[in-house]
C-alpha cells in the first residue's frame, strides 16, 4: 500500500525548489570625510542590507544608512582612479536584493599623500556649464577651469562637507557632500587673463594663489595653489571683442599699446606691452575673404605608424585673405582697416582629412600694422 507524504513536507519541498525573486535596490553614496589616510563614505539603501565599498563591508541600519571607512592603503592598487565601486547585496531564499553605483572620490589614492591635513583640503575642477571657450586656467595637479562660451569662468570646488572656500576674493559655501562653485563674469575674467597667454604671444607666468578653507566648526587653514593661464584662443572672447565699438573698455590708451587680434579662425594674437586683457588699447578682428586658388604643393608623403611611403604626391592649395578692422579699445573709434593677403608658402605637413591646403595671412604682419595705428 503506497505511503502518504505529509502535506507540510510537500510544501517545504516546493518552497526549496521555487526560485528566489530578484529585486533591484537603489543606492546613494557620497564621501563625507576624506584625508590622506582614509575616506569615510555614507551609503543609503534598504535597511539591513550588506554594503561593499572598495572591498570594505558594512550593514545598513534600520534607517538604511551605513558609514564605511576605507583606508587609502587598501585602495592603493587603484592608483589614479577617483571612481569607487559601491555594491549592495542581501536577501534570503525567497528574495535576493542587488544594487550597485559608484562614488566619486575627491582625490585619488595616489594623490592622497599630497593632501596633508586630515580636515582641510580643496580641489578645483572644470565648471558645471558647457565649457568650450578656448581657454584653460590650469591649477597644476589640483585641477583646472575652462572658460565658458560667453567668456566667463566657472571654478568648480570640492572640499570638506559644509566648509566655506574663499578664492580670489570670492566665497563659496560647499554642500554637505563638499561641492560648490565660484563664477567670474567675462569682464572679471579679462582682468585676470594676462596677454602672455594669447596663442602665439608667449607663455603666461605661474601665479601663486591661496584658497582659505573654513570648516563648519570655524577652524580655518590656507591651502596654497598655483594657477596658470594656458593657450587662450578666441571663442570665449569673441562676443566681448566684437562689442568694443559700442562698449569700449574703461581707461585711456597707454603710450606703448597692448594690441589684441582675433583672426578669422578664432585664434588670438597679442603684441606690444604686457598686461591683463582688460587693459588692451587696440583690438582688431579679421574676416576671411573667399578662398582663391593658388599653385599646388608637391613632395608630400604618406606616413603610417611613423613609416614614410616611397612615392610622393601633390595637394591643391587655397589662399584665404583676411580683412582686418581695428578699433581703439577705450573709445570704440575705428582706427583703420586693411586686407592682408595669404602667405605664399607650402605647409610642412597636412592631416589625412585635408584634401585642400589652406594658407592664411602672417599674424606677425598684422600685429606690426596694429602697432603703427
pLDDT digits (tens, 9 = 90+) for 168-189: 899 999 988 788 999 999 889 8
Q: For 290-305, what is the mean pLDDT?
A: 88
172 three-state secondary structure: strand
Give CA separation, 10 vs 1, 2, 6, 7, 20, in Å.
Answer: 19, 16, 7, 5, 18
Using 50, 70 and 90 to split pLDDT, how confident is the model at 127?
Answer: low
Mean pLDDT for the chain? 83
Long-range contacts of 249-252 (CB under 8 A, 24+ apart): 249/278, 249/279, 249/280, 249/329, 249/330, 250/330, 251/279, 251/330, 252/330
Give the range with max mean pLDDT: 35-39, 44-48, 161-165, 322-326.
Answer: 322-326
Q: What distances in angstroms separate CA 189 from CA 27, 42, 65, 236, 317, one per listed residue?
A: 40, 37, 43, 10, 39
Instruction: State the average pLDDT over residues 201-230.
Output: 86
> For the chain, percent helix, then strand, then coil, each to nearest 5?
15, 45, 45
- Most confident range (mean pLDDT) of 2-6, 74-78, 94-98, 219-223 is 219-223
Residue 235 has pLDDT above 70, yes or no: yes
pLDDT class of 291 with cuts at 50, 70, 90: very high
The b/e string for 139-171 (b: 16+ C-beta within 10 A; e otherwise) is: beebbbbbbbbbbbbbbbbbbbbbbbbbbeeee
| pLDDT score of 18 | 45
Query: Which range scores top for mean pLDDT: 153-167, 193-207, 285-299, 345-359?
Result: 285-299
Amino acid at each position: 500500500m503506497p505511503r502518504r507524504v505529509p502535506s507540510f513536507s510537500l510544501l517545504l519541498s516546493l518552497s526549496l525548489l521555487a526560485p528566489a525573486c530578484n529585486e533591484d535596490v537603489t543606492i546613494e553614496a557620497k564621501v563625507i570625510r576624506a584625508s590622506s589616510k582614509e575616506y569615510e563614505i555614507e551609503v543609503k539603501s534598504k535597511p539591513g542590507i550588506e554594503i561593499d565599498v572598495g572591498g570594505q563591508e558594512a550593514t545598513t541600519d534600520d534607517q538604511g544608512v551605513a558609514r564605511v571607512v576605507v583606508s587609502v592603503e587598501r585602495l592603493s592598487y587603484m592608483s589614479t582612479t577617483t571612481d569607487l565601486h559601491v555594491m549592495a547585496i542581501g536577501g534570503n531564499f525567497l528574495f535576493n536584493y542587488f544594487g550597485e553605483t559608484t562614488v566619486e572620490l575627491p582625490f585619488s589614492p595616489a594623490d592622497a599623500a599630497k593632501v596633508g591635513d586630515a580636515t582641510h583640503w580643496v580641489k578645483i575642477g572644470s565648471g558645471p556649464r558647457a565649457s568650450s571657450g578656448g581657454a584653460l586656467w590650469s591649477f597644476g595637479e589640483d585641477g583646472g577651469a575652462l572658460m565658458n562660451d560667453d567668456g566667463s569662468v566657472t571654478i568648480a570646488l570640492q572640499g570638506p562637507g559644509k566648509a566655506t572656500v574663499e578664492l580670489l576674493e570670492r566665497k563659496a559655501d560647499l554642500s554637505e557632500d563638499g561641492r560648490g562653485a565660484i563664477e567670474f563674469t567675462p569682464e572679471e575674467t579679462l582682468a585676470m587673463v594676462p596677454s602672455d597667454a594669447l596663442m602665439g604671444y608667449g607663455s603666461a607666468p605661474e601665479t601663486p594663489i591661496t584658497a582659505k578653507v573654513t570648516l563648519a566648526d570655524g577652524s580655518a587653514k590656507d591651502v596654497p595653489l598655483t594657477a596658470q593661464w594656458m593657450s587662450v584662443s578666441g571663442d570665449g572672447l569673441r562676443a566681448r571683442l566684437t562689442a568694443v565699438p559700442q562698449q569700449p573698455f574703461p581707461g585711456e590708451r597707454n603710450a606703448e599699446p597692448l594690441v589684441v587680434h582675433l583672426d578669422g579662425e578664432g585664434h588670438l594674437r597679442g603684441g606690444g606691452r604686457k598686461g591683463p586683457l582688460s587693459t588692451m588699447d587696440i583690438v582688431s578682428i579679421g574676416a576671411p575673404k573667399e578662398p582663391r586658388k593658388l599653385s599646388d604643393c608637391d613632395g608630400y608623403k604618406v606616413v603610417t605608424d611613423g613609416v614614410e611611403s616611397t612615392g610622393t604626391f601633390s595637394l591643391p592649395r587655397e589662399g584665404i585673405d583676411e580683412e582686418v578692422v581695428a578699433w581703439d579699445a577705450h573709445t570704440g573709434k575705428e582706427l583703420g582697416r586693411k586686407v592682408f593677403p595669404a602667405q605664399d608658402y607650402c605647409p610642412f605637413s597636412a592631416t589625412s582629412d585635408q584634401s585642400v591646403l589652406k594658407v592664411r595671412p602672417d599674424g606677425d604682419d598684422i600685429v606690426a600694422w596694429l602697432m603703427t595705428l
